[in-house]
Chain A
Amino acid sequence: MLDITLGQYYPGNSFIHRLDPRTKILSTLLLIIAVFLANTAVGYAALCAMVLFIILISGLPFMLVLKSVKPLLFIIVLTLVLHVVMGQGEHVLYQWKFIRVTEEGLRLGVQMAMRLILLLMISSILTFTTSPIVLTDGIEALLSPFRVIGVPAHELAMMMTIALRFIPTLMEETDRIIKAQTARGADFSGGNLLVRAKNMLPILVPLFISAFRRADDLAVAMEARCYRGGEGRTRMHQLAYRSGDVMAFVFAFAMIGLLAFLRWGPKLV
């Protein structure tokens, strides 16, 4: 059977896991700002130490978080290489034909790469420690003040909830259809892109028909259960800030303060 874990939630009960999702989303944004403020070696060192510290108290395996860099590894390496070999600036360290390695280029390349790595790791800590369902609640709560300017906060959250509910079901169904078609002799491997796309049709068509049928059924079932949009709705799990959330915010703002000081403050040395 398919083992479907949605998103990349890594269940646990750490301090970080227990934070309110709104706190985690907002703190993540604050820390991302902090990353963009960094422009000194000390600043980057502080950010790395911070990420290590958060990973430590969240109980996540370090390698797990590091792996979140993988999807963008190519871009990171490319950024680094391009900056290094096409260096701008006058302190030339090495030159061969059009390849020009400068101190400034080297610095900029490492900085960009560090930035990307830190951003990926920080945002993946959010999704590792928050289940998608709780994350949805957090997003809805954070967006709801913007309803007055027309942001459909509840509708977006409802869509995410239903997607979370039905993705595993549709994946099981895809699996079933593929097996059924394979049993009838369909071949899903090989061929060029066009052939492969054409081979997917016998899977996609029944899948879409069934998905529309499900959507129809679900709409009726929701109506039968008094669904009428977000107006006047209550929630079983009310979000609530606790003392830990205050600590997290203080920490995130302190990081911004530190990085801002390192950037604009009086030079220490």
Chain B
Amino acid sequence: MEPVIETQGLKHVYIDADNNQVTALDGIGMQIQPGEFVAVIGANGSGKSTLARHFNALLLPTEGSVKVHGLDTLDENNLWRIRQDTGMVFQNPDNQIVAAIVEEDVAFGPENIGVPTEELKKRVEDALRAVDMLDYREHAPHLLSGGQKQRVAIAGTLALGSKCIVLDEPTAMLDPKGRKEILNTMKKLNREQHITVVYITHFMTEALLADRVIVMSKGKIEFQGTPKEVFSRVDELEKLGLEAPLAAKVAFELRKSGAKLPPGIITNEELAAALA
């Protein structure tokens, strides 16, 4: 099957305020397959947000290429197709809601691409139902919780017809309840509607639920694999400034002091079972 997102030798150089070149991405080659749930982790400044913006053609490669559903982001004719196919959800829940009424905001994307009124209404309703926000369709966004606002943002991408959603630290500003809401919503969309998910996060517990975890450092992919593979490499993660989940760390320390534990312990349940 054709990958949803494919990058080859992707390099991105920013020119900062003092005219210095900042290499934010340095040769990224990766593929994301349809229906995958991929988590991207990495320390601050490792290039996660820059990478995410390439998936939506908000940034264009300095070198190398990005293909979204087979379409090259460098070709301007592909721009609107790409932005429909890959939706973006950003970190700050307030700063991505455009309209003063929930359903008007969800309609913003499809309105931009000229979806006819009747279909638009259906899309908005379906999208709000999918994120469980239909009851709030006529509410003012500023009265919603952070988690609810982010779900409205997710609905906005669904209404646009996105088959792939890229979320850039969507839970960073939310409370634990909101975090759970967003993760559950994305798991459900991934499971039931086969939405491909690229989920950037600095919460390792969220990355545990992904099919694949990509670890970034200094603009490069450091290593990747299943959550089990990635989070078992406790010391390597630590060197990159990332903290493995507590269970993985405990198992790691126990093993170091000679305990015989099976490999791949990353959740509390697995740790408890191994110690029982």
Residues of A within 8 A of B (CB): 4, 6, 132-133, 161-162, 164-165, 168-169, 172, 213-214, 217-218, 220-228, 232-238
What's the minimum C-beta distance from A229 to chain B, rounded to whole angstroms?
A: 9
**B112 and A227 contacting across the interface, CB-CB below 8 Å:** yes
Q: Given A225-B160, A234-B115, decide whether A168 and B140 contact each other with a Cβ distance below 8 A.
A: yes
| Complex Cα–Cα for A227 and B105 (A) | 12
What per-residue 1/0 map shows which CB atoms of B94-113 lie under 8 Å from chain A?
11111111011001111111
Residue among B88, B104, B115 making CB contact with A133, cutoff 8 Å: B104
The yes or no answer to B223 lying at the interface (CB within 8 A) is: no
**B90 and A217 contacting across the interface, CB-CB below 8 Å:** yes
The yes or no answer to B116 lying at the interface (CB within 8 A) is: yes
| Complex Cα–Cα for A164 and B83 (A) | 26
**B117 and A235 contacting across the interface, CB-CB below 8 Å:** yes
The yes or no answer to B124 lying at the interface (CB within 8 A) is: yes
Residues of B within 8 A of A (CB): 53, 56, 58, 80, 83-84, 87-88, 90, 92, 94-101, 103-104, 107-117, 120-121, 124, 140-142, 156-157, 160
What's the minimum C-beta distance from A161 to chain B, rounded to whole angstroms?
A: 6
**A217 and B111 contacting across the interface, CB-CB below 8 Å:** no
| Complex Cα–Cα for A217 and B142 (A) | 16
8 other A-B residue contacts (CB within 8 Å) besides A162-B98, A232-B113:
A168-B140, A218-B96, A220-B53, A224-B56, A224-B58, A224-B87, A226-B83, A236-B121
What's the minimum C-beta distance from A252 to chain B, rounded to whole angstroms?
A: 29
**B142 and A225 contacting across the interface, CB-CB below 8 Å:** no
| Complex Cα–Cα for A51 and B97 (A) | 39
- Across the interface, name the chain B residue whose C-beta is closest to A134: B101
List, sorted by A's number, 24 A–B pairs whose CB atoms are closer than 8 Å: A6-B100, A133-B99, A161-B99, A161-B100, A165-B99, A169-B142, A214-B95, A217-B95, A221-B96, A221-B98, A222-B108, A224-B58, A225-B87, A225-B98, A225-B157, A225-B160, A226-B83, A226-B113, A226-B160, A228-B80, A232-B114, A234-B111, A234-B116, A236-B111
| Complex Cα–Cα for A226 and B110 (A) | 8
Q: Given A133-B100, A161-B98, A220-B58, decide whether A234 and B88 contact each other with a Cβ distance below 8 A.
A: no
Q: Given A133-B100, A161-B100, A234-B120, decide whether A225 and B108 contact each other with a Cβ distance below 8 A.
A: yes
**B92 and A233 contacting across the interface, CB-CB below 8 Å:** no
| Complex Cα–Cα for A228 and B80 (A) | 10
- Across the interface, name the chain B residue whose C-beta is closest to A158: B98
- Across the interface, name the chain A residue whose C-beta is closest to B106: A236
**A234 and B99 contacting across the interface, CB-CB below 8 Å:** no
Ordered nearest first, which 9 A-B pairs have the shortest CB separation?
A217-B95, A221-B96, A236-B107, A225-B109, A224-B88, A226-B112, A168-B142, A164-B100, A165-B100
| Complex Cα–Cα for A168 and B94 (A) | 11
**A220 and B109 contacting across the interface, CB-CB below 8 Å:** no
Q: Given A224-B56, A224-B83, decide whether A236 and B124 contact each other with a Cβ distance below 8 A.
A: yes
Residue numbers in A under 8 Å from B83 (CB-CB): 223-226
- Across the interface, name the chain A residue whose C-beta is closest to B59: A220
Residue numbers in A under 8 Å from B53 (CB-CB): 220
Residue numbers in A under 8 Å from B90 (CB-CB): 217, 220-221
What's the minimum C-beta distance from B225 to chain A, rounded to whole angstroms?
A: 29
Residue numbers in B under 8 Å from A172 (CB-CB): 142
